[in-house]
Structure 1
Amino acid sequence: MDVFVAYIAPVLVGIGIGILSGMLGIGGGTVMVPIFRLAFDMSAIMSTATSLFTIIPTSISGAVSHIRAKTCIVSLGVAAGIGGACTSPLGVWLATISPAWLIMAAAALIIGYSAVSMLRKAFKMKPAKAAVSGAAVPETSSTPNVARPSVSDEQNASVKLSRKQLLIGACIGLGAGLASGYVGVGGGFIMVPLMLSLIGIPMKKASGTSLIAVMILAIPGVIEQGLLGNINYAAGIMVAVGSIPGAVIGARLVRKVPERILRLIFGGFLIVAAILLVLNETGVIA
C-alpha cells in the first residue's frame, strides 16, 4: 500500500494532470497545488514550490507536441513567457513572506475567477454540430467545384501577429508570472482567457501558445524555490513521470475536441480546484 501511495498513485495523478495540461494550455498547477497540499500533506509554500517544479517538464512535453502539430503561436508564447519570467521571482518572494492561508486564498480566488469567465463564454457558444450542420450543405451545393479548407486546415494555418499584439502578450505574461511564482501555477488559467479576449486567437491555438509561455516563465521561480529549499523533488519527479506522456496525449486530443467542450472542461476543473482549496483552508476537509 505504501508503494502504491508513494510511487504508483503520483504517476497516475500525473497522467491526468498532463492530459489536462496538453488540452487546456495550463501547466497543471491548479490541480497539483491542491493535491500536494491535501494528499501529500505538504505545507502551503512547499505545495506551490513543488507544483512549480513539476510544471516545467509537463509544459515542455505539451508545448513540443503543440509546436509539431502547429496548434500554437510560437512568437506569442515566447513574448508572454519572457514577460512572465521577469515577474515570477517576485511572486516567489511574496509567497515566502505571506501566511499559508493567504497564499491558498489567492490561489482559490484567481482560479475561481478564471473558471467563471471561461464557463460564461462557453455557455454563450453554440454547439459545434449545430453550427456546422446549418452551414455546410448550402455552401457545398451552390459551389460544388470550389475547394474549401477543412476545419483542421484553418486551425493549423499560420497566424501573424502585430507588434502591438505581441506587446499585449508580454503584458499578459507579466501578470501570469507573478501569479505563477506566488501560488505555484503555470499561469495558463490567466493567459488562455486573456489571449482569447484581448488578442483574439482561437482556443485551440491559445492552449499550445500558453504552454510555450509556461515552460519559460516558470524557470526563474523554480530556481529561486530550489535555492530556498522549498521543493519536494521526490514527489515532483514522480508526478512528472506521468504528466510528461499525459501532456503529449492531451496535445493530440486538442485537435479533436470542439472548442466549446474545451472551455467547459477547463472551467469545470478550475471550479473543483478552487473549492478544494477553500474547503481545506477553512478546515472543512483535512
Structure 2
Amino acid sequence: MELSFLTIILGTIVGFVLALTGAGGGMLSIPLLVYGLHLSVQQAAPVGLMAVGFAAALGSITGLRKGIVRYRAAVLMGISGMLAAPVGVFSAQRIPNQPLLILFACILLLIAFRSFRRKKISRNEQDVACSLNADNQRFHWTMRCARAIAGTGLISGYLSGLVGVGGGFIIIPSLIRHSHLDIRSIQATSLAVITLVSISGVSSAALHGSLPWAIALPFTIGSTFGLLGGLQIVTRLNQATIQLLFAWLVLLVAVSMLLKGSGLVA
C-alpha cells in the first residue's frame, strides 16, 4: 500500500510538470522512478513511457477536436516510431544500467542547454522540406518531405523505447525546421505521434516481460491526476519563469544522473 501511494505521488509530480511545461514531465519520470523507487533504467523506461503516452493521448484528442493535428504527418511519423520503439526496448534490455544512465543524462543536458539558450531554431523559409498548401494548410507531400518526417519518427521512436522519453524534444524541433506549421499545430501533432509510439514501446516492453504493472498503473493514474490539476492553473503562471526553473531542474537532475551512471554516487 505504501509503495502504491508513493508511486501515485511520483506520477502526480510528472503529470503536473507535464501540464506546466508541455513535455518536461516525461523527462523527469525516469529520475523519479530511479531515485524514488530504486528501479533500473530498463524498468523505469516503459513505466515512464506509459504515463507520458496516456497524457499525450489526452492532449492529442483535444488537438484532433480543434483540427490542428496534421494527421497524415502524425501517422507516417508514428508508424516509423512504432517500428523503431521495439528496437529501442530490445536494445535497452541488453545495455548495462550505468551506460543507459549516462546516455539519459546526456539527453537531459542537451535539453537544459537548449532551454537556457532560448534560441529559435533556424530554417530557410524558401527551402523547407515540407511546404504547406496555401488553400488548406496541409503538407505538400514530396519524397524529401516524407524522408524528413519518417526519419524523425525513427529517431524519436528508438529513443522512446531505449530510455522512455516521449520524443517530443526530437519531434518539435524537427517540425519547426522542416515545415511552416504554427507552434500549436506542431505541439498537437507531436502529442499524436508520442501516443502512437508509446503504444508500441509499452506493448513491446509488456511482451518482453519488462513492464512492472504494479508500478506502471498507479504511476499512470497519478500522472493523469497531476496533468488535469496542472492544466487548471497553468494559464495563471508566468511561462518564462516556469521554463527557466525547469531548465535549472533538468540541469541538476542531469548532473545527478551523470554522477550515478559514472559510479561516483550510489
Of stretches 46-55 and 233-242 in structure 1, the one that deviates more from structure 2 is 46-55
> Displacement, 1:116?
1.4
Name the CA distance, whole Å, in 1 between partners of 2:232 and 2:139: 24
Name the CA distance, whole Å, in 2 between partners of 1:79 and 1:24: 26
> Displacement, 1:177?
0.5
Of stretches 162-171 and 99-108 in structure 1, the one that deviates more from structure 2 is 162-171
Q: Which has the larger radius of gyration?
A: 1
Residue 62 and residue 56 in structure 1: after superposition, are their counterparts in 2 closer, same or farther (change >3 A)? same
Q: What TM-score results when the alignment is normalised by the length of structure 1?
A: 0.73
Equivalences, count: 250
Instruction: In structure 1, list runs of 5 or more residues that go unmatched.
Output: 125-157
CA contact (8 A) 1:118 1:193 kept: no
CA contact (8 A) 1:89 1:224 kept: yes
Aligned partner of 2:170: which letter? I
* SS in structure 1 at match of 2:38: coil
2:84 aligned residue (79, 84, 87): 87
Name the CA distance, whole Å, in 2 between partners of 1:193 and 1:259: 19
Name the CA distance, whole Å, in 2 between partners of 1:199 and 1:63: 19
Aligned partner of 1:213: which letter? V
Q: Counterpart in 1 of 2:50?
A: 53
> Displacement, 1:254?
7.0
Name the CA distance, whole Å, in 1 between partners of 2:69 and 2:239: 14
Name the CA distance, whole Å, in 2 between partners of 1:7 and 1:60: 23
Residue 23 and residue 242 in structure 1: after superposition, are their counterparts in 2 closer, same or farther (change >3 A)? same
Q: Counterpart in 2 of 1:174?
A: 154
Residue 113 and residue 45 in structure 1: after superposition, are their counterparts in 2 closer, same or farther (change >3 A)? same
Aligned partner of 1:20: which letter? V
Q: What TM-score results when the alignment is normalised by the length of structure 2?
A: 0.78
Name the CA distance, whole Å, in 2 between partners of 1:234 and 1:50: 10
**Superimposed CA distance per residue, residues 80-124 of structure 1 (whole angstroms, 9 cap, x where no aligned partner):** 222211111111111111111111111111222133124323599
- Residue 175 (structure 2) pairs with residue 186 (structure 1): no
- Residue 13 (structure 2) pairs with residue 35 (structure 1): no
Residue 64 and residue 38 in structure 1: after superposition, are their counterparts in 2 closer, same or farther (change >3 A)? same
Superposed counterparts of 1:63-78, under 5 Å: 63-69=60-66, 72-78=69-75
Superposed counterparts of 1:1-150, under 5 Å: 3=2, 6-22=3-19, 24-26=21-23, 28-69=25-66, 72-121=69-118
State the identity as a percent: 24
Residue 221 and residue 278 in structure 1: after superposition, are their counterparts in 2 closer, same or farther (change >3 A)? same
2:197 aligned residue (217, 226, 248): 217
